[in-house]
Amino acid sequence: MINLPRDRMDQVVKRFDMLEAQMSAGPAPDAYVRMASEYADIQEMVAKIRALRTAEH
């Protein structure tokens, strides 16, 4: 279970979506590596947040 305030969950999902968009825009290789690392770090959490939101609706 995720134990984060709703606004923090929103921030994490928003950051994930932003990283995804920036990575698909073709950034410089060093920037891509940094973004991909952060993306991977929060990917599982975002999946759980989205599953929780689906279950709530």
Given this model, what pLDDT does residue 27 score?
Answer: 95
Q: Could you tell me if residue 1 is inside a domain?
A: no
**Does this model's pTM top 0.85?**
yes
What is the domain range of residue 37? 6-56
pLDDT for the residue 4: 80
Distances, alpha carbon 20 to alpha carbons 2, 3, 9, 14, 36, in Å: 22, 24, 17, 10, 9
pLDDT at 40: 98
Could you list the mean pLDDT of each consecutive 10-residue stretch along the chain, which spans 57 residues? 84 98 97 98 97 92
pLDDT of residue 3: 76
Residue 22 lies in a domain: yes
Q: Give the number of domains in the chain.
A: 1
Asked whether residue 30 is assigned to any structural domain, the reply reads: yes
